[in-house]
Structure 1
Amino acid sequence: MANNPSGGSNSMFIDMQKALKGIDYPADKQTLLDTARSNGASEEVTNALDALPDQEYESPAAVSKAVGQES
C-alpha cells in the first residue's frame, strides 16, 4: 500500500510552503494568493488557497491546517 491516493497532498503542502516563502504573518487570503502567484505557484496550490475561507492566517501551519480541512 505504498501508493496512498491522498499521498499527493504531501507534495502539494511542500509546494505551498515554497509558494508562500517570504510572506509576513498574519496574512489574509488575498495576500496568500498574491504571494503564491508572485512565487510561481502551481494551479493546484492557487486553487487550494482560493478555496480557503476569507480570514487572517497566523502562520504557515494555520494555512496548512485550513487547506487540509478544505480538501
Structure 2
Amino acid sequence: MGAAHTSVPEVLDALKDVSYPADRDRLLTAAREAGASDDVVMALRSIPAEEYGGREEVARAVRDSGPGHATAQRASQARHAGRPGIAQHLRDEPKTPIHEEFDR
C-alpha cells in the first residue's frame, strides 16, 4: 500500500484520463482535476519526480514509496556495497596504484 490510507487502485482511478508519458507534476495536476482525495495527492507527491511511461510504472512507484521504502532503500544500498549516509567518494574502496603513489 502507498501513502497513509490510499491503495494503488485509488491512485490509478484518479489518473484514468492521463495520457502517458507523464511526469509527476502532470500526474498531480490530473489527480487534483479529477477531485482526488488528499491521501491520493500525498501518495503521488511521494513518488520520484520523473517521467512515467504508463499506469504500471506509476503503480510500482506508489507501492515503492510506501512506508517500507526506507528499509528497501537501505537494503539496496547494502547490496551495492554502500553504507547509508556516506557519499560515494568517502566509501572504502581499494586504492589504485596511482592513489598509492600519491600517498607516498
Give the TM-score of the pair, scaled to structure 1: 0.81
**Which runs of 5 or more residues in structure 1 are unaligned?**
1-5
- Name the residue aligned to 1:59: 54
- Name the residue aligned to 1:16: 11
Which one has a bigger Cα radius of gyration?
Answer: 2
Match of residue 65, structure 2, among 50, 60, 70: 70
Q: Determine which structure has greater relative contact order: mean sequence separation of CA pairs < 8 Å that are 6+ residues apart, divided by chain length.
A: 1
- Name the residue aligned to 1:3: none
Distance 2:11 2:65 in 1: 14
Shift in Å at residue 13 of structure 1? 1.5
Match of residue 41, structure 2, among 38, 46, 62: 46
Shift in Å at residue 66 of structure 1? 0.5
Q: Deviations over 1:12-69 (max 9, x none)?
A: 2221111101101000000000000000111111001001111000110100001111
Distance 1:40 1:19 in 2: 8
- Name the residue aligned to 2:78: none
Match of residue 27, structure 2, among 18, 27, 32: 32
Distance 1:40 1:59 in 2: 21
Q: Is the 8 A contact 2:24 2:51 kept in 1?
A: yes
Q: Is the 8 A contact 2:8 2:63 kept in 1?
A: no
Distance 2:64 2:46 in 1: 10
How many residue pairs end up in the alignment?
63
Which ranges of 4 or more aligned residues in structure 1 deviate by more than 4 Å? none
Give the TM-score of the pair, scaled to structure 2: 0.57
SS of 1:44's partner is helix
